[in-house]
Homo-oligomer: A and B are copies of this chain.
Amino acid sequence: MKKASIVSIGNEVLSGRTVDTNAAYLSKQLLSIGIPVVGFYTVPDETDAIVRALKLAAADADIVLATGGLGPTDDDLTRQAFSEFLGVELQLHDELLRKMEDFFAGRNLKMPEKNKIQAYIPAGAKALPNNFGTAPGIMAKVKEKLLVALPGVPSEMKQMLEESVLPELRQLPGRQAVAVRKLRCFGAGESTIAELLGPVMQRGRNPLINCTVKYGVINLDIIATAENTNKARQMADNDEKSLRKTLGELVFGAAEQTLAEVVGQELARQKKTLAIAESCTGGTLAGLLTDIPGASRYFTYGWVTYGNDAKISELGIPADLLDKHGAVSEQVADAMARAARKKAAADFAIGITGIAGPTGGNEQKPVGLVHISVDSNNGCKTKRCLFSHDRKHIRLRAAQTALNMLRLILEI
């Protein structure tokens, strides 16, 4: 099986000023044509460091993709590093120079002298056209390895990858077919999911099951590799079926779906409506719902009753209920959900009240305590939750948990 390594070149990446999204993009593109990436190397704008990284990358893999360092300034050294690595001179390409002069002439500009360096390519290598800028890419073959330099500007890199590199890579023999299926789960931690799944999570298994977690949402990627596409798809589909069976209602969706999306789709399908009354989440849940295009089909009323006065005047929560149980209580969450459903004449309503922190907690009611109620024709369901991490995490987990409660009621 062919493998690839990626070399990211540039002080702006290494100093943290720019987050390297190129490497992740390239990796996904390569994996989609059956070429896994085995390592990223990120290096400064220094010839020695680039040459060293090229050597390490080429030792790991059959294909090395480098990005960055092809600009016209003195700290753009990828051309020099490639020629040093290949052991050849840089050569001026007249045609590239002419194209570059045309690029500037077309914009009524004189080409700065500095840009001329971009018309130099290591002897024997191929220049890759750049439709969006002046920096050509470089492609060279050496000892059965394919070595490619792409611009660091994402739009230029993507265009060159699509038009000049992927077609070349698709010709390579010895690629394997890959099929990917993605499941999303909510309602259990990573370790519980791992225990439920048991041996399928083992490393080196094919299909490979990858597990990542973000704000309580567990992403399971099923990556099947086989000699042909049909076989890979079949393997991935079989695994998906078996994982769905094992995980049951923990699975809420596939691919990049969010809880707000699957709940919204189901509400729209059932022609039901939802109202929400938020205290500690303060608009976060409404924000998640309305992130989804077309949310107005099922969501039209939301209240952010962040203080007791708003809970009393806007939702009619009795002042003595607030006095007796406190704003953060099961009773108030229930009353908020019921009031929201009634006022909006909605089929479902959610009430959330809690302590997002960092202050405001005590022993009985600590930071992270959140009461969530979902009211419907079948009465009011309430859940007492204790979330950890910071304020942002607590608020987001509370909003997601509310959506998950509604999902289970909707039987998605």
Contacts and interface: CB of A to CB of B under 8 A. Distances in A.
Contacts of A112: 189, 191-192, 194-195
A339 interface: no
Contact of A395 (B44, B291, B395): B291
Interface in A208-257: 208, 210-213, 219, 221, 223
A191 B114 contact: yes
A389 B203 contact: no
Nearest to A159: B390
Interface in A180-204: 189-192, 194-195, 201-203
By secondary structure, the A interface counts as: mixed
Contact of A72 (B29, B190, B357): B190
A371 to B, nearest CB: 16
A23 B41 CA distance: 12
20 contacts: A14-B38, A15-B221, A17-B210, A17-B221, A39-B41, A39-B43, A41-B41, A73-B201, A75-B203, A115-B191, A155-B389, A155-B392, A283-B283, A283-B285, A283-B290, A290-B306, A293-B358, A301-B310, A304-B304, A313-B343
By Cβ-Cβ distance, the 3 closest A-B pairs, closest first, are A282-B290, A283-B286, A302-B304
Chain A interface size band reads 35 or more
A146 interface: no
A314 B212 CA distance: 42
Contact of A37 (B15, B24, B28): B15
B293 A391 contact: yes
Given A18-B212, A27-B16, A307-B296, A132 B74 contact: no
Interface in A242-297: 276, 278, 280-287, 289-291, 293-296
A13 B17 contact: no
A163 B33 CA distance: 43
Given A115-B191, A306-B302, A21 B23 contact: no
Given A19-B21, A20-B40, A40-B40, 18 more contacts: A14-B39, A14-B40, A16-B29, A16-B37, A17-B28, A17-B221, A18-B24, A39-B42, A39-B49, A42-B42, A72-B191, A106-B386, A155-B393, A282-B287, A282-B289, A283-B290, A300-B306, A302-B303
Given A307-B300, A386-B107, A73 B191 contact: yes
B301 A306 contact: yes
A140 interface: no
Interface in A35-53: 36-46, 49, 53
Nearest to A388: B132
A113 interface: yes
Query: How many protomers of this protein does the assembly include?
Result: 2
Nearest to A26: B16
Contacts of A132: 388-390, 393
Contacts of A305: 300-302
A299 B282 CA distance: 10
Nearest to A291: B392
A101 to B, nearest CB: 13
A107 to B, nearest CB: 6
A309 interface: yes
A26 to B, nearest CB: 7
Nearest to A41: B41
Nearest to A192: B112
Contacts of A73: 190-191, 194, 201, 203, 211
Nearest to A289: B282
A127 to B, nearest CB: 19
A290 B280 CA distance: 8
A357 B293 contact: yes
B293 A359 contact: yes
A20 B26 CA distance: 13
Given A38-B44, A210-B11, A282 B300 contact: no
